[in-house]
Structure 1
Amino acid sequence: MGAPSGFEFVVRGDEVVIRHRGATATVLRGTRASEFLTQVEQGDAQLLMARITGNYRRGNERTARQHPRNAR
């Protein structure tokens, strides 16, 4: 699995707009926006934005579900 890419964010007043390849993926407001700005300074911004938008799954979910470690 490759590293996430193509994300960017823009701060507009008290909002944070996250875009993926030019299209708006999500808008964070209030507490979530301030937490995001704090976390983006501490870690990998691309991975964080991928997780927030839900664009981090890459097709191996079914295989992982069948793994003995994840068996229920």
Structure 2
Amino acid sequence: MDEQPFSFQIAKNQSVFLFFKGKQIKIMKGKEAEKLVSRLHAAKDEKEIQLLLAKATGNFKHGNERK
């Protein structure tokens, strides 16, 4: 996780948009989003943030994606 492929954006309504290499891959709302935001704010460094975002996105890549 030395790269930073994941990013996020928090909307006014507290929804969290998750991105992988600039493409939106997931939207989180409600309690799930609140929990993620609190963990992101408590993260010590960028590496921990990337790990939290990777876990939040789940298994979205299966190896058969086109390049």
Normalised to the residue count of structure 2, the TM-score between the two structures is: 0.70
**Runs of 4+ with >6 A deviation:** none
By relative contact order (CA 8 Å, sep 6+), the higher-ranking structure is 2
Q: CA deviation at 1:42?
A: 1.8
User: Which residue does 2:18 correspond to in 1?
Assistant: 18
Q: Once the two structures are superposed, what CA deviation does each residue of 1:26-64 show, in whole Å capped at 9, x if it has no partner? A: 110000111001001222111000011125x9xxxxxxx
Matched pairs, number: 54
Tell me how far apart the structure 2 counterparts of residues 46 and 33 of structure 1 sit (CA, whole Å). 16
Shift of 1:14: 2.2
Query: How far 1:6 sits from its partner (Å)?
Result: 1.1
Whole-angstrom distance in 1 between the partners of 2:55 and 2:4: 12
Superposed CA offset, 1:3-43 (max 9, x none): 16211111112200010111111110000111001001222
Corresponding residue for residue 48 of structure 1:
52
Give the structure 1 partner of residue 64 of structure 2. Answer: none
What percentage of aligned pairs have identical amino acids?
Answer: 24
Show the counterpart of 1:8. 7
TM-score by length of 1: 0.65
Q: Name the CA distance, whole Å, in 1 between partners of 2:31 and 2:58.
A: 19
